[in-house]
Amino acid sequence: MTHPVQTPPPAMPAPAIVARLSGLQHRYGAVAAADGVDLEIPAGCMVGFIGPDGVGKSTWLGLIAGARRIQQGRVEVLGGDMADRHHRHAVCPRIAYMPQGLGKNLYPTLSVFENIDFFGRLFGQSRAERAQRIDTLLAATGMSAFAERPANKLSGGMKQKLGLCCALIHDPDLLILDEPTTGVDPLSRRQFWELIARIRAERPGMSVLVATAYMEEAEQYDWLVAVDSGRVLATGSPAELRARTGTTTLEAAFLALLPESRRQGHHALDIPALTSGEVVIEARGLQMRFGDFVAVDDVSLQVRRGEIFGFLGSNGCGKSTTMKMLTGLLPPTRGEARLLGEVLDARNIDTRRRVGYMSQAFSLYGELPVRANLELHARLFDLSAADGAARIDELARRFDLLPVMDTKPDALPLGLRQRLQLAVAVLHRPDVLILDEPTSGVDPVARDAFWQLIIDLSRDEGVTIFITTHFMNEAQRCDRISLMHAGRILASDTPDALVAACGCSSLEDAFIHHLEAAGGGRQPPHQPTYQATHQAAHQPTPGPSATGVQPAATTRAPAFSLGRLLSFSAREAVELRRDPIRLTLAMLGSIVLMIVMGYGINMDIERLSYALLDRDQTQASQSYALRIAGSRYFAEQPPLASHGELDARMQAGTLTMAVEIPPGFGRDLARGTPTRISVWVDGSMPMRAELARAYVGGLHAQTLAEAATAATGNAPASAASIEVRYRYNPELRSLVSMVPLMIPLMLVFIPSMLTALGVVREKELGSILNVYTTPVTRLEFLLGKQLPYIGLSLLNFVLMFGLALTLFQVPFKGSLPTLLLGATLYVTATTGLGLLVSTMTSSQVAAIAGTAIGTLLPAIQFSGLMDPVSSLEGAGALIGAVYPTSHFFTISSGTFSKALGFADLGGSLLPLLLAIPVLNLASAALLQKQAR
Amino acid sequence: MARSTTLLRNTWTLGLKEFRSLGGDVAMMVLIVFMFTASIYADARARPETLQRASIAVVDEDASQLSTRIVAALHPPQFIDPELISLADIDKGLDAGRHTFVLDIPPNFQRDVLAGRSPALQLNVDATRQSQAQTGAGYIQNIVGEEIRDFVQRGRPAATPQVELVTRAMFNPNLSASWFTAIASIINNITMLGILLTGAALIREREHGTLEHLLVMPVTPLEIMLSKVWSMGVVVLVASAFSLQVVVKGLLGVSIAGSAVLFGLCSLLYLFAAASIGIFMGTVARSMPQFGLMSILVLLPLQILSGSMTPRESMPEIIQGLMSLAPTTHFVALAQSILFRGAGLDIVWPQLLMMIAIGAAFFMLALHRLRSTIGQMQS
């Protein structure tokens, strides 16, 4: 032994059974994913789950991993009940779970190193320990050279290896892999299993559970569970299963195990000979460049009518890019693609009708039921209603989609989603089918059914088929195949000719032979094969040690860990740094807005438009009119001629006020007869109307007083006078009072929008699984996500504060530490508000809308920006009283204009302080720690 | 021509798809309903009718009959019943923002008034409370002045001034603020949803790869855009019509002067402009988080500076000029004309024309961006 093997803690005796399912029931609507399952899974070996798509394999694995909530029945893993939260928390450091889908739980903008490092931190490993572990893991997987590459720039095979590294960083006792090699090319797949074998050799106690669609892989496992319709069909070693069914291959054994109804129509495929037709697809010297990177170089090929043309190559070799050029989705940088002799033009709608395309990633509407997706495509492709319905019915039957017609694809397993995509691609009976890994993740029976369809289309209807696959038995069925590597075609011929040409025994060997000759084997050529390592599994072999580090000292995860919290913060900060546009929007955006709004919101209501209806036209009336015209509050418009015009212009909204001086005004004034001046104000904007009325009233009184003074020579004595002192802002400058309010406004909208997508985005993209299966608690996750945004918002605050002092020249009179404390509490609350919205919503769109409503309305209307909170009524008053913005308004304007300090503002700081735990605990309560 | 019927049919089909997608998002549906019902109701009911419930404190150093009359005259709804405080507490109350106004009645005030010495009262106003400071000070001056006059004349009828000023508020005689707030609130929600729903729907399609899929089908970017515009437009239009009829007219009892049909037509055209802006933003933003931030940066000025909160004519000219490029500004103007002043098409056509022009410009810009971003889409 080159390293000590971890001994299980005494509290949990080493079980011979790693997991036990009893009476397990799990349903999604009408579909049973587990229908009374009783199963004991032996420890310390490699266990395979085989079965058709959508029978419950993934659900079982998710339940065992603790990622899914148990509906009914009992799941015991590593000696405890997985329904028990404490047990889950205690054993999750000993379990590693790799979900279905390429790189599903990885963080796309983080590099390979950062991804693994993040998981290491979650399990409380020190920096030195992590560095050493990552080093050995990367060396073992042959990824050392790619440590700095972002995960989204990795090929599918490398993503899966990275996923495995992330799963293995904490030396799990139970490794759960859900279809780990689906969509991975044969070479990478071989390397992947070699890696697993080496790791098992070093950690013989580790149990590995794998769900797979590859029967040839399952052939190598120790123990198998055959699954169908949520039930166990059979268990045993591959040899036992073969013996029991009297078959020679596992694939045949599995078919024999299936009930009669499930294998209906399955028979060996028969491919009639191809009668050669005209050239349908032609590529001449295709090249595609993305910047400096040449994805596809000098690809030329010809495909004839009715031919099935296969495209093989490692992940990321340029197959998909070539296919996109052949569909017209991507215009080539150089060279040309022709369809039926015509150069492809992406804008040509008729071309699109003749081509059926299925992309590698699922690209249909996950939120629409299966039937709706099919109907949408039938309509868009112009199928008549009757024809469309018949066609949908036919395809649903053919692809076995009938039971899921009303289910949304989001809730379906990979295999069924792929079938739906296929059905959509062939729906409109295209002349040419371009299929990018159509059978990836589809079970063997359905794959054969699909190939039967392909063969029928090709041979009976003369449809030309261009297909990529990682299954060698499928490649064998093609009329011709091209081997592609690093953007170039290595060889192109019939499968048999290719095998013969390199003197190999199988197509897989021929493929790997070509790749390695082209330098595609990233690992040294003399790696032990999976078979060899597998047999040696129980005799530890020296060699690169993937896990040659002392196991973590503590096996029990602490209930709260600052380290885990900070690992989320660090990750979020890196992701933020990688998105400069978002950073710029957050910083620059708030400053631009502050300037625009600081100047724009103007409470100094002035320049109100008015017009005069002077029906007197004397000197007296003109001098009265001059008083109004001279006021800065009013801006005179062309005079009115009649009441009709007055009504019209008021209605058009071009006048805020109209003043009518009656006929005989000058005469009456001179005689001392009472007279009246009429004023109309536009009431559609009440605040403006109110002010206009007050202004004109003031002017009127002043004019009269002056006239009296002028007449009598002395001012009329008034009983008393009122001296009005405008405090804090004596000139009533809008800026001085507005800028301190702009800062709180910016600090509610932007921080909450920054965090608003934090949780919901992880839900939509899948990485939320890491919260389910690692020891991180809900609060650690939420607070960890929040921290970087609090930091960013404070930086934003400092910038805006500086701007207020310099550009706006707003004097700061109060206590800076108090304002800073207030700002810190405030942005903690507002970022917490964003997270709360994020945990409540299920789509990113709803999160954005929810945050916009949840901030704009209360902050602008109920927090005292326009009207003081004390003057509000009803729900608004209630919201205003508790909403953080109203309190920070008080703190901000108090410290800016009123020279206030900590003692004066305690009453506003306290509610902010209270808001933080309320918001965060509400988010934590709403966040699920398991999938349903 | 066949092309145009295809365009119509595809636009229709894709639009129906948008409805189904939206219908599946329960949280979003709840939000839309909330926005056009409870949110508008709360907003309209919360806002005071001009000066309302202003907080005032009085320092009564006189404690006379007159000073008591003055204190009693300051009462709801304009003012919260005044709090009597001591001279030393004036600054504290103002500083904490507890009082917006503090009236100081000096000692011997009544005696000096009766003796004709014309004493002075002091009114302290928190000028940072811009919306109340001026109007409130005016109210207090009037109320106090009247009380003193009454007191001095001891019930004798006041001499009417020779020139009387009669002011009338047109269209909204009681200057009820909830009218204004309710309509502004609807407009804000129309803007917000019009922009968010379409822009986010586009980004969602791109993030999920469905946009690329649409483009291998016989569907054009124009159809994709039009389908989002019409479907989301209908959602928002129906929601706002319901809100106007049931919440604003029914629950809030606001009487609408003009034609609701004309307003609906204008809303539809405005939605076309807002949705185009949303799609334009959707082509500029690379991801949903970027779009979220961008939408706040756009929505905020549209809400605050378009004239639905404070009068445009008082804003600096440069802001007025900038905001005249936003369709919201014109929509606010014509909505006020139609709904409050009963204006018809003959009056609001210039704004309508501007709105259409701006909307069309954004639509073309968005279409151009959509076509070119699709061309660059890779991997």
How many beta carbons lie within 10 A of that of residue A672, not counting itself? 9
Query: By CA distance, what is A851's nearest residue in B?
Result: B292
Q: Kindly list the distances between the CA atom of residue B217 and the CA atoms of A306, A342, A447, B210, in Å, as whole numbers in the listed order.
A: 22, 18, 25, 11
Low-confidence ranges of chain A (pLDDT < 50): 1-15, 521-555
With an 8 Å Cβ cutoff, are A357 and B6 in contact? no
Supply the pTM of this predicted model.
0.84
Within an 8 Å CB–CB cutoff, is residue A595 touching chain B? no
With an 8 Å Cβ cutoff, are A365 and B17 in contact? yes
Helices H / strands E in chain B, number of each: 15, 5
Cα-Cα-Cα-Cα torsion A847, A850, A856, A857, nearest 10 degrees, comes to: -170
Give the Cα separation of A647 and A655 in Å (integer).
10
| Predicted local confidence at residue A263, as pLDDT | 66
With an 8 Å Cβ cutoff, are B171 and A684 in contact? yes
Residues of B in contact with A572 (CB under 8 A): none
Q: In chain A, what are the domains?
A: 18-258 (3.40.50.300), 280-517 (3.40.50.300), 565-597+732-926 (no CATH), 608-712 (3.40.1710.10)
Per CATH, which fold does B56-153 belong to? abc type-2 transporter like fold (3.40.1710)
Can you spell out the DSSP letters for A62-74?
HHHHT-B---EEE
Who's near A41: CB < 8 A, 6+ residues apart? A17, A18, A19, A20, A21, A47, A64, A207, A209, A223, A225
Chain B 252-281, CB below 8 Å of chain A: which residues?
none
| Predicted local confidence at residue A371, as pLDDT | 93
Within an 8 Å CB–CB cutoff, is residue B234 touching chain A? no
With an 8 Å Cβ cutoff, are A871 and B54 in contact? yes
With an 8 Å Cβ cutoff, are B169 and A736 in contact? no
With an 8 Å Cβ cutoff, are B168 and A581 in contact? no
* B85 touches B59 (CB < 8 A): yes
With an 8 Å Cβ cutoff, are B127 and A729 in contact? yes
**Residue A488: closest CA among A292, A299, A284, A288:** A299
Who's near A817: CB < 8 A, 6+ residues apart? A902
Instruction: Name the DSSP letter for residue B59.
Output: E
Within an 8 Å CB–CB cutoff, is residue A265 touching chain B? no
| Predicted local confidence at residue A353, as pLDDT | 84
Strand order through the sheet with A231-236: A95-98, A174-178, A207-211, A46-50, A223-228, A231-236
Within an 8 Å CB–CB cutoff, is residue B218 touching chain A? yes
Instruction: Name the DSSP letter for residue A150.
Output: B
B260's tokens: 């609701």
With an 8 Å Cβ cutoff, are A651 and B342 in contact? yes
Query: By CA distance, what is A580's nearest residue in B?
Result: B290
* A223 touches A237 (CB < 8 A): yes
With an 8 Å Cβ cutoff, are A683 and B122 in contact? no
With an 8 Å Cβ cutoff, are A682 and B170 in contact? yes
Within an 8 Å CB–CB cutoff, is residue A743 touching chain B? no
| Facing residue for A846 by CB, picked from B28, B161, B318 | B28
* A345 touches A297 (CB < 8 A): no
Q: Please report, in tens digits, the pLDDT of each residue of chain B (379 residues total).
A: 467 788 888 899 899 989 988 888 888 899 899 999 988 888 888 876 566 778 889 999 988 988 898 888 888 777 888 888 888 888 888 877 778 899 999 999 888 888 878 888 888 888 777 667 777 887 888 888 888 878 887 755 555 567 788 888 888 777 777 778 888 899 999 999 999 999 988 998 888 888 888 878 888 889 999 999 999 999 999 999 999 989 888 888 887 878 889 999 999 999 999 999 999 999 999 889 999 999 999 998 998 888 888 788 878 888 888 899 999 999 998 888 888 888 888 888 899 999 999 999 999 999 998 888 765 544 3
Distance from CA of B361 to the nearest CA of A (A): 23
* B208 touches A363 (CB < 8 A): yes
Residues of A in contact with B197 (CB under 8 A): 845, 849
Within an 8 Å CB–CB cutoff, is residue A844 touching chain B? yes
Give the Cα separation of A288 and A663 in Å (integer).
85
CATH 3.40.1710.10 positions along chain B are 56-153
Q: Hey, of A684, A812, A836, which one would you mutate to test binding to chain B, going by the most B CBs within 10 A of its CB?
A: A684
* A821 touches A900 (CB < 8 A): no
Distance from CA of B166 to the nearest CA of A (A): 5
